[in-house]
Amino acid sequence: MNQVEASASSGRRLESVFGALVEDLRAFIRHRNVSYEEYHRALEFLAQVGAAGEVPLLMDVFLETMVDEVNHAGRPGTESCLEGPYYVRGAPLLDPPYVLPQRANEDGEKLFFSGKVRSMDGAPLADALLDLWQADAAGRYSQFNYEEPRFNLRGRLKTDDQGRFEVRTVVPAPYEIPKAGPTGKLLLALGRHAFRPAHLHVKLSREGFAPLTTQLYMDGDPWIDSDVVGAVKAPLVARLTKHDLPADLEERGLKRPYFTLGYDFTLVSAERRMGKP
């Protein structure tokens, strides 16, 4: 398909989707008997969302999980999950032994996150790229809740020749999404809390395989069953294990207890993703 054909196809898709959206919204207004007062309140709310820079946040809370479901329903391999609004491109490519960039005296319990990346037939995938990002021990993301270091708790790393990886980081905290703005006020009006359970973000990619964006959650988190964005999927919940025995601490060269989290990922070949045998 050349550029002209691609542009025409994109235009037809836009016309079809936007037309359907307008018809659905008109049907909603008719079915719900929306008043002019309600209509203008909705306009005012949307203007406030735009002025506050919260469009990605609002979409993340109410719609992105459905986009994920539509795009990945029935897909084999590891479950996908939403990207969320806090991803930043260009995180540093790390050298082993892997440690996510951290501030001096980074708060939080030490965490060793490890696992394997495999194909659907169980073969290990060497040189698979993992792009990781997470909140800190106070539930904050670099470049959003604080500026420096720019790539704090963000990094990219590759699996070894057996498809294995291990990276040292800190246990992320659950957190409330911003609630002082219009999105938070809407949640309050709906009687909903604003908490997300603790999680790790992962983007995986490897030549010949469909990319995967997902999140891993910690079993036992108090918000695991009521995530404000409804993104938790049972297969993505992993066990966080505490290690405090002297032998374990000595093996890691640590003086304080630490945690481990293990999870294996399965990628789908690009051809299979496209429906080819």
Residues with active-site annotation: 141, 175, 196, 199, 201
**Contact between 171 and 240 (Cβ < 8 Å):** yes
Q: What angle do CA 140, 141, 147 make, to 5 degrees?
A: 105
- Measure the CA–CA gap between 4 and 82, rounded to whole angstroms: 32
Cis ω on the peptide bond leading into residue 149 (within 30° of 0)? yes
What Cα–Cα distance (Å) separates residue 182 from each residue in 53, 231, 250? Answer: 10, 21, 50
Give residues with Cβ within 8 angstroms of 209, minimum separation 6: 119, 125, 128, 267, 268, 269, 270
- Measure the CA–CA gap between 192 and 62, rounded to whole angstroms: 12
Rg of the chain (C-alpha set): 22
- Measure the CA–CA gap between 235 and 253, rounded to whole angstroms: 32
- Measure the CA–CA gap between 231 and 85, rounded to whole angstroms: 13
